[in-house]
Structure 1
Amino acid sequence: MTLVFNKAWWGQLSILFFWAITFIILLQFDSVFNPQNDLLLLLLPLAWGSIVGTLPTFKPDSVVITPKNVMLFVWFNKLIIIPLEILWLGNMIPVEAYFNQEISTEIITTIISFVAFVVGWNFFPKKQGLHTIAPLHSLKIWAGVYFIIAFFSIFLLYGSLSNYWSGAIFTYVTLEIVEQNASTAGLLANIGQRFLPFSVLFAWYEWQKKKVRIYKLTHIVWLLLCLAGTLSSNRSNMAYPLLMLLSIMCMGWKTRYVFWWALLFSISIIFLFFYGYVRVQPSLDTEVLGILLEDFLDRREYIIQAHQLYIGSPYQITPLLSIPPSSPTLLASFLEPVPIIGKAFREQSGPYVYNLAYHDSLVSQDKVIPVAGELYYNGGYFLVAVGYILFGIVYRWLDVTFKKNAEINPPVAAAFFYLALLFSATLLLSLSVLVQFMVYNAAPALLLIAANWSRIRKAS
């Protein structure tokens, strides 16, 4: 691993301030009377500046939509936006029992996870990755097969397309339908829905090859078709297929103002939160939508809380510090989302332990255990470092493979971009959600990659 350093003034300044504030904290810190939480929070944006301002490998790509930029966007929110948000507006994670507790462990865990990820990212050679090969000649057939699988799955779960259109966007309707179809056929149908966005991807690719002149507005039609197949998904699984399609639609879209794009996308997350606000309603019309929007915008605390909760606040780790580690949770967390097998591991899993600590009861299982927190719970700072080094290596491999295939084989590049989005659960969500993504969402991408991989092996 060879590191090359920049000499950006703001990177060097970040390093200087990081160590100066660390020294001040060490001199004045007292866990009860002088916890220094504000200064501790300031270490997070300074850690970001120290890395991004000095390592060229962490410079954002000029092409806007790449796995690397998605990764940087997540860390940008976790290390800059959310800490500054907490300093300005306060912690909105509703864990009242720990309101005045110092957060040194949480901050150290977050910094170690980031630094370890950077080490893993730089450890993977940039020139390696999956070998490239021309797209499959039978993509039209693939598009048709994927569409049939998705159409049959939607019909099997909802009974008709009209039921899908009228009920799929509502959370409780979808949950009821999934519970009613808790069989092998229902499981396969749930997985089968994920094939529709890929069918749209293949059809778009074949369509754009035949066009001499492509009008940008026509891309909106394809994006809407992609969105139509994800209505019964949660917010991340609706956004991921759209980003996947955009990743190859906008391959030539470059900018010098990546920071401002990151800020704009951070603000746009508000619309995802509003969609979640809408989904829990029993029904919807134009009048109700207007009332909901007005109420949503008035609830500033809800918006800030959602941002801190879904992107990742240091305070998410806090509930795990209130309980002594008993039995390891990692194996159970990996197995818990697996159909049938997972039932036996539910009460030993990280999500179960975390929600028990978070709510101080079993009243709800709705909170996602942060990956860094679960690793710390199981093995302290050492396991956090090892885990995030591995995450950095895998993420770099996905990024390199995407870029090597972006121009030669856009469909398979999009599949790797989609896997990178699913893998971002290691930064945003939990290990259990990562496995859940791989079980329920990854099949169409993995099948396409496997088909291309077999052709590569035959060619060699």
Structure 2
Amino acid sequence: MKITLKRTWWGQSAVIGLMGTVIWIVWAFDPTFNPSPTPLLLLLPLIWGCIKGNFYFLDSDDVVITPKNMMLLIWFHKLIIIPLEILTVGNKILPEYYDNQTILTEILIYLISFGAFLLGWLILDRKTTTNHYTTSHYGRILPFAYISIAFISLLTLYGSIQQYVEGAIFSYVTQETLEQQAGSIIGFVANIGQRFWPFGIMLIWSQTSHGVTTKSSPFHVALWLFLATVGILSSNRSNMVYPLLAFGSVLFRGQKVYSKWLLLLFIEMSILLAFFFGYIRVQPYLDYQHIEMLFDEYLQNNDYIWSAHQLYLGSPYQLSPLLNIESPSFTLIASLLDPVPILGKDFREYSGPSIYNQAFHDNPFVSQDKVIPVAGELFFNGGYILVFIGHFVFGVIYRWFDVVFKQTVHNNVVVAACFFYLMLLFSATLLLSLSVLVQFLLYNALPALLIIGINWLQIRKAS
């Protein structure tokens, strides 16, 4: 990719600020006697500003929802929003008993991961071509099959549609349902089967709209997103948001952004509402008359909002428990096998999630409720070199998804949505853990992979 320079006042200001901050660190910072995190945390937004403000290749796409825009949004939070948030309201996820003196290492891991990711993104030429997926004729069988699989799966898990509607929104109901089906093949299949619903709706939409690329009306968009949401109420937030974003990527494929700052503000408000939805789901019951009261309580509970934001979007302090382990071990294979049914049982004790949670809680007998960041696990297993290699590969793959999506979105909207969805699952490499990535591939990816596979077979037959 050709790298073109641009000059913005804020980009030049970031360069000056970065030089001053580096001098500040060299002059005053001491990791043992004066481990002040302020100048080190400032490095993250300043380096983002230096690159974003002086190079065109990080400019966002004009179209609303694309893989590149999602990538930029993730790094924007990791490098700007979260560090500035920590400096203003403090770290909300690190246990109090940690006397953190590893902030320099954590910031270096973040900077190396970002730099390697950008190199991987740049090395894959934007003109890279793949098989051009043409519009496919699924007939009525595939949409019907997808909706039927999801419908039967929900009945299997919840017993009736009424029980699903009344209880699926609550986390404890879903947890109890999955625990009752744990270890059974029927439960495993049904858990996967419910993921077919939004893709079935997408298939129906593609047939009724006949693959047109004109802009959709707000009512049209809201109706189809609502229908896609109806069958995924029992999913966690990521499993609800990802299919809707994938659907939105093709519903809004003709929409361009006229005010990126207003769009960013809307996204931040949407994230706030997503956290509120999670707040509702942990309630023992829901009295719809008290939603306003719950929302007021949610807004007043600032620590919940800040901790959720830092936890789900990625704080450098998430790496601290790993850096305080005296004898690192090799966890990658165990982490990849951890979520695999039956096979992964013998590996869970030695996996990254297990070791991370033991270190985080300072207790060997804890549940795996904290997610081990991928960058931290790569460093734990292979130092800075593995962090660099891993994120270089992540950058290449992200770029590939971006290229394929943009080459496909005007030819086959459903396949484009499937690639976008797989890209979101792959975002676990930046937001979650390797174990969660494998879990996504096992439990979530099948509906999208089947559609892509069917289209690939059609291309093979046509050629």
What TM-score do you get using the length of structure 1 for normalisation? 0.96
How big is the shift at 1:12? Answer: 3.4
Q: CA offsets per residue over residues 203-252 of structure 1, 9 Å max, x none?
A: 11112229999543122111111111111111111111111111111011
Q: Deviation at 1:2?
A: 4.5
For residues 210 and 262 of structure 1, do their structure 2 counterparts lie closer, same or farther at Cα, with a shift above 3 Å needed? closer
Task: Provide Cα deviations, 1:365-390, integer angstroms capped at 9, x if missing partner.
Answer: 20001111111111111111100000
> Which residue pairs with 1:414 in the alignment?
417
Counting aligned pairs with the same residue, the percent is: 52
CA distance in 2, matches of 1:339, 1:102: 36
Instruction: Sort the Cα spacing of 1:393 and 1:210 in 2 relative to 1 into closer, same or farther, 3 A.
Output: closer
Q: Which residue of 1 aligns with 2:154?
A: 154
Q: 1:372 aligns with which of 375, 387, 392?
A: 375
User: Is the aligned partner of 1:78 residue 2:81?
Assistant: no
User: Of 336, 339, 351, which residue of structure 1 is paired with 2:338?
Assistant: 336
In structure 2, distance between residues paired with 1:95 and 1:55: 39
Paired residue for 1:293? 295
Q: Find the aligned partners of 1:413 and 1:197 in 2 and give their Cα distance.
A: 14
1:294-333 aligned at under 5 Å gives the runs 294-333=296-335
Unpaired runs of 5+ residues, structure 1, are none
Show CA shifts across 1:282-301 (max 9, x none).
Answer: 22112343332221111111
Matched residue, 1:184: 185
Structure 1 residue 23 displacement after superposition:
2.8
Tell me by how many angstroms 1:170 deviates: 1.0
* 2-structure distance, mates of 1:255, 1:190: 37
Picking from 244, 250, 265, the partner of 1:263 is 265
Could you tell me whether the CA contact under 8 Å between 2:112 and 2:388 is conserved in 1? yes
The answer to which of 403-412 and 316-325 deviates more is 316-325
Residue range with higher mean Cα deviation, 185-194 or 125-134: 125-134
Equivalent pairs, count: 460
My pick for the range that moved more, 22-31 or 191-200, is: 22-31
Equivalent position of 1:220 in the other structure: 222
Deviation of the 1:453 alpha carbon:
1.4
Question: In 2, are the aligned partners of 1:63 and 1:251 still within 8 Å (CA)?
Answer: yes
Residue 422 of structure 1 aligns with an amino acid whose one-letter code is L
d(CA) in 2 for partners of 1:447, 1:140: 16
CA drift at 1:139: 4.6
* Cα 1:15–1:455 shift into 2, 3 Å: farther
| 2:97 aligned counterpart, secondary structure | helix
**CA distance in 1: counterparts of 2:377 and 2:447, whole angstroms:** 29
Mapping of 1:423-434 within 5 angstroms? 423-434=426-437
Q: CA deviation at 1:8?
A: 3.1
Query: Which range is displaced more, 275-284 or 194-203?
Result: 275-284
Check 1:275–1:77 CA distance in 2 against 1; reply closer, same or farther (3 A cut).
same
5+ long unaligned stretches in structure 2? none
Matched, 1:247 2:213: no
Q: Using a 3 Å threshold, how does the CA distance of structure 1 residues 129 and 441 change in structure 2: closer, same or farther?
A: farther
AA of the residue aligned to 1:264: F
Q: Which moved more, 1:336-345 or 1:322-331?
A: 322-331
Name 1:232's counterpart in structure 2. 234
**Structure 2 residue 40 is the aligned partner of structure 1 residue 52:** no
CA contact (8 A) 1:354 1:369 kept: yes
CA contact (8 A) 1:113 1:384 kept: yes
Q: Which moved more, 1:130-139 or 1:333-342?
A: 130-139
Task: Call closer, same or farther: CA 1:129–1:19 in 2, change over 3 Å.
Answer: farther
| Counterpart AA for 1:320 | L
Output the CA distance in 1 between the equivalents of 2:457 and 2:255: 31
Give the superposition deviation at 1:14: 2.0
Distance 2:220 2:453 in 1: 31
Equivalent residue, structure 2, for 1:134 = 134
Judged with a 3 Å threshold, the aligned counterparts in structure 2 of structure 1 residues 141 and 349 are, in CA distance, closer, same or farther, namely: same
Residue 355 of structure 1 pairs with residue 357 of structure 2? yes
Q: Deviations over 1:49-103 (max 9, x none)?
A: 1222233221100001011101111111111111111111111114112255351
C-alpha contact (below 8 Å) 1:153/1:189 kept by paired residues:
yes
CA contact (8 A) 1:120 1:388 kept: yes
Q: Is 1:37 matched with 2:40?
A: no
In structure 2, relative to structure 1, the CA distance for the partners of 1:410 and 1:210 (3 Å cut) is: closer
* Residues 312-363 of structure 1, C-alpha deviations (whole Å, 9 max, x = no match): 0111001111102432011111110111111111011110011000001123
| Residue among 436, 439, 447 paired with 1:436 | 439
Question: 1: CA distance between counterparts of 2:111 and 2:334?
Answer: 26
- What TM-score do the two structures reach when normalised by structure 2? 0.95
Aligned to 1:446: 449
Residues 332 and 345, structure 1, Cα contact 8 Å, conserved in 2: yes
Q: What residue number does 1:7 align with?
A: 7
User: Conserved in 2, the CA contact under 8 Å of 1:44 and 1:80?
Assistant: yes
Would the aligned equivalents of 1:64 and 1:258 in 2 still touch at CA under 8 Å? no
Deviation at 1:26, TM superposition (A): 1.7
In structure 2, relative to structure 1, the CA distance for the partners of 1:398 and 1:139 (3 Å cut) is farther
Mean Cα displacement is larger for which, 181-190 or 27-36?
27-36
**Deviations along 1:115-160, whole A, 9 cap, x unmatched?**
1110000011111143213222125321111011111111111111
- Please give the per-residue CA displacement for 1:413-455, whole angstroms capped at 9, x wherever unaligned: 0000000111111111111111100000000000111111122
Give, in whole Å, the separation in 2 of the partners of 1:180 and 1:115: 45
- Which residue identity is paired with 2:124? F
Q: Is the 8 A contact 1:208 1:214 kept in 2?
A: no
Determine whether 1:400 maps to 2:403: yes
